[in-house]
Structure formats: structure tokens, C-alpha cells
């Protein structure tokens, strides 16, 4: 069914192949076709498989149209010769092991067969299948002769071969680089591996549910990554069930071998266990990035008629062997070699189980929040993301369209860098990132409703709206003043700390960036929220510092600058904006300055800044969020009053001051209502990269008066 979901054409073909193979198996059982009929044709079986495999080097093809030419095909029917070669290889090796009672595991026939078979596969550059062949040869040698050094020698030879191939075969080098550091090329060579990890994380413990995953996001999910597709839809629980079934097959094979009196059949049963365990661990380990990725099919589950037929052929062999009554005198005690091999496979499956837990639980949140995860965008096209509103519940950003085609739309483009971006493969910033859980519907609903939505629909409910403190009218006026200027502007309530208007220029509209139509301006930082991440030199505040600093610091210019820098960086609240992890000495951000200078209009008390004021709960309606705590007396009240009086304008309605830095060519303007103002106390800060002139202050005073009287 998973293959049907990924590709209906492949699913139809696989269903026909499954029916045909099932009929053959039933016919073989009912017709009593035993191993004695197969034994007489072993040489022809191996020769035919080997010749067909070699033929792929000359006339091989690939049904997908790209990749290695490992198939022979005609008229829409394809055969992968390496699959029947596995079966014939296994039968020949076990036959030699059964009749060769005197020779060592390094017998000439065994060596020739192993070299020819592995050589043909290596010539195809099929590293994964080569590893399976070596595992079968080494495993049978260990089981037959208890020569563990066989595996050590094979591992050494394989390591040497891979080291050479890494330098001369680009594909092998790429696979190793991806394995060692998958994050270095997340959208290129490592894309499959990264998406496999994210798919497992997306499945979590219980899975998205049958039919509710996104298997097509992972390339070749119907074949190489079928285990990943199962993990996403059935979760870690379902994936562990798959691991357990393969482990049981290995266990059953060894149990059958233990009770089988015929030497050849004993080795066949053990060999089938080795084959199924080795091939399953090879591809599952690659899906989990435990080993370099190799393109071998997962037995019984991956798409492919050749693999399906051989896998069922292996199980048919176990049936023939296991259906015979065991020898009464046969001791059931397993040999040390059998114990060792069984422990080796058990350890491999256990490591895979831990790998599932690591990606699906421990790294779950980190992986799902990565920008390379397209599933979030797919879900948000189906489940409507919550809107970000202004203080009057007018839309700043909302999702428009219908289920299956929802798109994010910004209605006040100037707030794009402030509210942030939410774009697949680009990422999230600012408010879209800080409030992602409620906006996406993952928080704010009762737990039972969230669980039910995930269980039934494989997604959260529609997102929850959030309300900001933005005043759309004031925002429009402040934006109109900036025009093409480069800088940042903040208008806030000096008492409550509510941010009424915010400007960060230049900016790129969310709509343009999401549609890939944005043309980046020549000036830097069009995606930067300069309010919280733009930095300006503290020296621009030099004159103001000496006027508002306490008396001891105000006696010296240097001491006053140190004092104001300390005050700027003290207790700036987290309000949902992306912020610099470290603000270098001698610099500050506009958000820091807004908190500090609001104190001049607020009797020396710094406001507790606030941007998101409420969330719309589906059960309680609008829930008001608590404001940030104010900082008492961050400027001495006497100093705040004297500064306001000294810089009051002719109208006596507000005060204003300016600063200018010649090195960065930045003008700074700050204004606020007088302490005795009876209306809403406002503070305005303007930063822009433009030389100061005599008319600038008058121009900005008029702007503040307009904002004040609106």
C-alpha cells in the first residue's frame, strides 16, 4: 500500500508481481519441488546469473531513466540479474561448505566464486550489493568453520577498496561525505539523507497515520527509502515492528539450521538468515545514516519484482527445510559460531532501534524546525495558519485561499522584517518563528483535540490568531516619512511599552520573497529586522549621556558613555524578535534605546516593551498576555525631568534631541511627550543613514507632532 501511495503505477506493477510470485510459491509447495531438484542445476543457475549480471555492463538499462544501469529490460519488463545471482551464490557456497569437509574456508572453488560474483557487482559500482555478497560469504565461512578472522579480513579488504574508490569514484566519495557530514549540502547530495531523518522525526512515536505521511518528499521512497516511508506513517512503533519481523526471520532461520540433519540444508538455512539480516541492516542503516547509504532493496517491502521473487525464494527454501522432521538424536545446543552470528545480528537491529529513537525522539524538534523540512509548508497549505493582527484586529499577515492551497499574505508590507518570514526552504524569523506553535495550531487547543486532529487528519487544527500592539494609522505615517532612507524607526507608548509603529528599511515584502520575485537592493540587510538586530555606535548618544547620567557619572564624558551603555543593555525584554546573541561593546540596538529613552517621558521608569498583546484561544476567546516588567528608575527622575525641560519644543508639548555620528554617517533623533502630558505618553526614535542638517530636526519635530495628534 505504501508503494501504491508513492506511485500508483509502481503499486499496480508490484501487486501483479506479488500475485505471480505468490502463485509460484504455492505451486512449488503443492508440487513438492524440493531441494534435490535444485541441486543438480546449481552450476547452470550460477553461470546464467553471472552472465546476465555481466551483460548489464554492456546492454544494461535503468527503468527510472537515471542512475546505474543494473537492469536488463525489454517491452516494459525488467530483470535485475544481481538478485538471482544472490540466490545462486548462496546455494553454491553452502553446497561447497557441505561437501568440503577437509579444506579450509579458503578453498579454491569458494574463492573463485566469491571473486567472480563480487567482481561483477563491483564492476557495476553497486557497493551495497557487494557488501551483502561479502556478508554471505563471510557469514557462511564463520558458521561452517568458526573462522571469525574471515570477517575481519573481509572488512579490511572492503575498507581498503572503499578507500581507493573514495579517491577515484565520485559517487562513492559523495556517499561517504554525506554520511560523515550530511549537513554540508542539505539541498544537494545530502538531500535524500536529510529528508529521511526529517521523515522519521515527522513520524515520531505513533506516526502520522496510514496515508497521512509525505513519502514523496524523499526521492526514491518506493525503493531505497521504503523504511523511511513506513517510519513516517507508522511511527517508531511501526518501524520497530518491521525490525522485529526481520529479526524473527533471522532467528527462525538459525533455529531451523540448528535442528536440520542434512549438512547442505543446515548451511542454506543459516545462509538465508545471514542474507536477510545483512540486506535489511544494510539499507535500514543507510536510511538512518548509521552507515553510508547504499541502494539495495529492503526484502519483501521495496519495489522490484526481482527482489521480491528472490526474497520469497529464500523463504521458500526455509519452508522446505523447516517442514522436514528434525533428527531425534540432533542436539539442539547451538554452536559458538551460531551464537556469535546471532549476537552480531541482534546487535545490528538494536543499533537501528536506537537510531530510530535518536532521530524520532531526541532530535525530533530540531529536525522538524529546520528550513529544509518542506512538510511544514505542505501542512500549512492544508491547515490554515493563524493570522497576525494589529491592535484593532486588522490583518497584518494572514493565510488566504482554500484548504490545499493556503498561501501567506502580508497586508502591511512594511512590517515584513518585523513580523518575520515563514517560507519553506527559507525559514522563519521573528514573530512567525517565536509564536510558531500557536500560529500553526500546535498550542492553544485542548490536548485531546490536538491528539484527535493528529490521529484522524495527520495534522494540527487551524492555527490560532495573535494580536500585536501595532497601530496601522501610525505605522503608515512613519513608513511614509522613511521612503527610501536606510535605517530604523520606533514609536512606542512610554508608559505601557506597547510598540505602535516599527520601520526597518530597506525591506522585502513577504509576498515577493515567498514567490521568488524579490530583487535584493544594493544596500545591505533587506531581510534584517534593524529594530532588534541593527547596531549603532554608543558615541552617537555622547551629548545626551552626560545630561541623563547620575551626577557622579555625569561629571566625565567617558564615565557618562559607560553608564548609558550599561543602561542600554540592561533588562531588555524578550518580545519575540530575533536578537543578536552578543552586542559588541560600544554599540546598541534601537530596541535597547527605545526602552531607555521612554523613561524620559515616564518619570525615569523604563517601559516593559510589548509587541504581541493577546492570543485568540478557541475555548476562551482573546486572552491578554502579561506585559513585560518595567525597570524602576533606569534614569534618575530629576535628570529625566531636566532633560525633557531643556529639550522641550516651542509648543511645549514634547521634547526632542538629535545626535550624529560622522564615522557611520548616521543621524539619531529621539522625541517624547512631556512628563506632565495628560494623553498617551509617546516616544519616537529615528535612525537613518543620512548626514545631519539644520532642517532635519524641524522635519522630524513636525513628524512627531503629526503622530502625537493623530
Claim to verify: residue 23 and residue 149 sit in the same structural domain: yes
Cβ partners under 8 Å of residue 2, min gap 6: 215, 222, 226, 229, 230, 233, 301
State the pLDDT at residue 104: 46
Claim to verify: residue 703 and residue 665 sit in the same structural domain: yes
Q: Output the nine-digit C-alpha cell for 64.
A: 527510472
- Pair type for strands 612-617 and 395-400: unpaired
State the pLDDT at residue 516: 55
**Dist. CA 316–CA 417, nearest whole Å:** 64
pLDDT at 168 over 70: no
**Dist. CA 81–CA 60, nearest whole Å:** 10
Which of 368, 383, 416 finishes a domain?
368
Claim to verify: residue 488 and residue 454 sit in the same structural domain: no
Q: Express as a percent the part of the chain with pLDDT over 70.
A: 85
Claim to verify: residue 193 and residue 249 sit in the same structural domain: yes
pLDDT in tens, 379-393: 888 888 999 999 999
Choose between 125 and 144: higher pLDDT.
144
**Dist. CA 206–CA 184, nearest whole Å:** 30
Domain total in the chain: 3
pLDDT band at residue 34, thresholds of 50, 70 and 90? low
Claim to verify: residue 464 and residue 477 sit in the same structural domain: no
Task: Indicate whether 617 belongs to any domain.
Answer: no
Residues in the chain: 710
Give the 3-state secondary structure of residue 233. Answer: helix
**Dist. CA 682–CA 22, nearest whole Å:** 80
State the pLDDT at residue 106: 43
Q: Which 8-state DSSP code applies to residue 413?
A: G
Instruction: Count Cβ atoms below 10 Å from residue 546 Cβ, excluding itself.
Output: 18
Average pLDDT in the 144-166 region? Answer: 69
Task: Indicate whether 553 belongs to any domain.
Answer: yes
Average pLDDT in the 359-385 region? Answer: 83
Phi (first) and psi of residue 317, to 5 degrees: -60, -45
Phi (first) and psi of residue 395, to 5 degrees: -75, 130
pLDDT in tens, 177-215: 777 788 887 777 788 888 889 999 988 888 887 777 787
Q: What is the largest CA-CA distance in the chain?
A: 114
Which of 434, 468, 502 finishes a domain?
468
pLDDT band at residue 3, thresholds of 50, 70 and 90? low
Claim to verify: residue 43 and residue 149 sit in the same structural domain: yes
Residue 536: which CATH number?
A: 3.40.710.10
State the pLDDT at residue 312: 86
Distance from the Cα of residue 167 to its chain's centroid? 30
H/E stretch holding 668: strand 666-673
Claim to verify: residue 244 and residue 301 sit in the same structural domain: yes
For the chain, give me the number of helices (H) and strands (E)? 29, 17
Task: Indicate whether 46 belongs to any domain.
Answer: yes
pLDDT in tens, 505-541: 888 887 777 655 555 544 456 678 999 999 999 999 9
State the pLDDT at residue 101: 52
State the pLDDT at residue 329: 45
Claim to verify: residue 490 and residue 398 sit in the same structural domain: no
Average pLDDT, the chain: 82
H helical segments located in 391-471? 416-419, 430-434, 436-440, 447-457
The answer to whether the peptide bond before residue 361 is cis (omega within 30 degrees of 0) is: no
H helical segments located in 169-225? 170-180, 191-203
State the pLDDT at residue 153: 72
499, 609 contact by CB (below 8 A): yes
Give the domain extent around 699. 472-611+628-709
E strands, 258-406, where? 388-389, 395-400
E strands, 3-97, where? 72-74, 77-79
Task: Indicate whether 622 belongs to any domain.
Answer: no
Claim to verify: residue 452 and residue 483 sit in the same structural domain: no
Cβ partners under 8 Å of residue 149, min gap 6: none
Task: Indicate whether 334 belongs to any domain.
Answer: yes
Residue 463: which CATH number?
A: 3.90.1310.10
- 206-217: buried (b, 16+ CB within 10 Å) or exposed (e) per residue? ebbbeebbbbeb
Claim to verify: residue 32 and residue 174 sit in the same structural domain: yes
State the pLDDT at residue 597: 94
Claim to verify: residue 319 and residue 423 sit in the same structural domain: no
pLDDT in tens, 470-492: 999 999 999 999 888 889 999 99
Claim to verify: residue 600 and residue 655 sit in the same structural domain: yes
H/E stretch holding 468: strand 466-468
Task: Indicate whether 333 belongs to any domain.
Answer: yes
Give the 3-state secondary structure of residue 670. Answer: strand
Phi (first) and psi of residue 468, to 5 degrees: -105, 175
Task: Indicate whether 623 belongs to any domain.
Answer: no
pLDDT at 336 over 80: no
Q: Give which of 602, 534, 592, 531 is closest to 567, Cα–Cα.
A: 592
Task: Indicate whether 618 belongs to any domain.
Answer: no
Give the 3-state secondary structure of residue 660. Answer: strand
Cβ partners under 8 Å of residue 566, min gap 6: none
Which of 451, 468, 485 finishes a domain?
468
Amino acid at each position: 500500500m505504501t508503494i501504491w501511495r508513492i506511485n500508483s503505477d509502481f503499486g499496480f506493477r508490484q501487486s501483479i508481481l506479488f500475485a505471480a510470485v505468490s502463485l509460484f510459491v504455492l505451486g512449488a509447495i503443492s508440487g513438492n519441488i524440493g531441494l534435490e531438484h535444485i541441486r543438480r542445476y546449481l552450476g547452470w543457475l550460477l553461470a546464467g546469473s553471472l552472465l546476465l549480471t555481466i551483460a548489464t555492463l554492456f546492454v544494461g538499462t535503468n527503468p527510472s531513466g537515471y542512475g546505474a544501469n543494473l537492469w536488463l529490460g525489454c517491452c516494459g519488463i525488467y530483470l535485475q540479474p544481481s538478485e538471482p545471482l544472490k540466490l545462486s551464490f548462496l546455494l553454491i557456497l553452502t553446497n561447497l561448505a557441505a561437501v568440503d569437509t577437509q579444506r579450509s574456508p579458503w578453498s579454491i572453488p569458494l574463492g573463485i566464486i566469491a571473486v567472480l560474483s563480487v567482481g561483477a557487482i563491483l564492476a557495476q559500482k553497486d557497493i551495497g550489493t557487494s557488501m551483502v555478497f561479502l556478508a554471505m560469504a563471510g557469514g557462511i565461512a564463520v558458521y561452517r568453520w568458526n573462522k571469525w578472522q574471515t570477517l575481519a579480513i573481509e572488512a579490511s579488504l572492503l575498507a581498503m577498496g572503499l578507500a581507493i574508490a573514495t579517491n577515484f569514484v565520485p559517487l562513492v566519495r559523495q556517499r561517504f561525505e554525506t554520511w560523515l557530514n550530511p549537513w554540508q549540502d542539505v539541498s544537494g547530495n545530502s538531500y535524500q539523507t536529510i529528508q529521511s531523518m526529517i521523515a522519521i522525526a515527522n513520524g515520531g512515536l505513533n506516526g502520522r497515520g496510514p496515508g497521512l505521511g509525505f513519502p514523496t518528499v524523499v526521492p526514491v521512497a518506493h525503493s531505497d527509502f521504503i523504511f523511511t516511508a513506513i517510519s513516517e506513517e507508522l511511527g517508531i512503533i511501526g518501524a520497530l515492528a518491521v525490525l522485529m519481523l526481520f529479526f524473527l526471520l533471522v532467528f527462525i532461520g538459525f533455529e531451523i539450521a540448528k535442528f536440520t540433519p542434512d549438512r547442505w540444508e543446515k548451511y542454506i538455512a543459516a545462509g538465508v538468515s545471514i542474507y536477510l539480516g545483512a540486506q535489511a541492516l544494510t539499507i535500514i542503516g543507510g536510511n538512518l545514516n548509521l552507515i553510508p547509504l547504499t541502494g539495495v532493496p529492503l526484502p519483501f517491502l521495496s519495489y522490484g519484482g526481482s527482489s521480491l521473487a528472490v526474497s520469497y525464494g529464500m523463504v521458500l527454501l526455509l519452508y522446505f527445510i523447516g517442514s522436514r522432521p528434525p533428527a531425534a538424536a540432533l542436539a539442539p545446543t547451538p554452536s559458538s559460531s551460531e551464537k556469535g552470528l546471532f549476537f552480531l545480528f541482534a546487535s545490528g537491529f538494536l543499533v537501528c532501534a536506537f537510531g530510530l529513537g535518536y532521530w524520532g525522539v531526541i532530535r525530533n524538534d530540531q529536525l522538524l524546525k529546520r528550513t529544509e523540512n518542506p512538510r511544514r509548508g505542505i501542512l500549512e497549505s492544508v491547515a490554515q495558519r493563524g493570522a497576525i493582527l494589529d491592535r484593532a484586529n486588522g490583518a497584518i499577515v494572514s493565510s488566504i485561499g482554500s484548504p490545499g492551497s493556503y498561501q501567506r499574505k502580508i497586508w502591511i508590507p512594511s512590517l515584513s522584517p518585523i513580523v518575520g518570514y515563514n517560507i519553506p526552504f527559507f525559514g522563519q524569523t521573528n514573530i512567525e518563528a517565536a509564536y510558531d506553535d500557536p500560529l500553526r495550531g500546535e498550542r492553544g487547543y485542548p490536548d485531546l483535540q490536538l491528539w484527535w486532529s493528529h490521529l484522524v487528519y495527520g495534522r494540527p487544527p487551524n492555527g490560532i490568531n495573535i494580536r500585536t500592539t501595532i497601530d496601522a494609522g501610525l505605522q503608515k505615517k512613519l513608513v511614509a516619512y522613511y521612503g527610501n532612507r536606510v535605517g530604523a524607526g520606533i514609536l512606542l507608548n512610554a508608559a505601557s511599552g506597547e510598540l505602535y509603529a516599527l520601520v526597518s528599511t530597506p525591506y522585502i515584502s513577504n509576498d515577493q520573497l515567498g514567490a521568488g520575485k524579490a530583487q535584493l537592493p544594493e544596500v545591505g540587510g533587506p531581510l534584517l529586522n534593524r529594530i532588534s538586530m541593527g547596531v549603532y555606535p554608543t558615541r552617537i548618544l555622547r551629548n545626551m549621556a552626560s545630561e541623563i547620567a547620575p551626577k557622579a557619572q555625569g561629571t566625565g564624558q567617558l564615565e557618562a558613555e559607560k553608564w548609558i551603555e550599561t543602561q542600554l543593555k540592561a533588562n531588555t525584554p524578550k518580545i519575540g524578535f530575533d536578537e543578536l546573541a552578543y552586542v559588541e561593546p560600544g554599540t546598541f540596538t534601537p530596541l535597547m534605546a527605545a526602552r531607555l529613552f521612554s523613561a524620559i517621558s515616564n518619570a525615569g521608569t523604563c517601559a516593559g516593551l510589548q509587541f504581541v498583546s493577546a492570543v485568540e484561544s478557541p475555548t476562551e476567546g482573546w486572552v491578554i498576555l502579561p506585559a513585560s516588567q518595567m525597570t524602576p528608575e533606569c534614569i534618575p527622575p530629576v535628570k529625566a525631568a531636566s532633560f525633557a525641560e531643556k529639550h522641550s519644543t516651542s509648543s511645549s508639548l514634547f521634547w526632542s534631541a538629535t545626535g550624529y555620528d560622522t564615522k557611520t554617517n548616521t543621524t539619531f533623533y529621539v522625541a517624547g511627550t512631556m512628563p506632565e502630558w495628560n494623553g498617551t505618553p509617546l516616544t519616537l526614535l529615528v535612525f537613518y543613514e543620512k548626514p545631519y542638517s539644520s532642517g532635519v530636526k524641524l522635519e522630524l519635530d513636525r513628524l512627531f507632532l503629526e503622530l502625537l495628534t493623530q
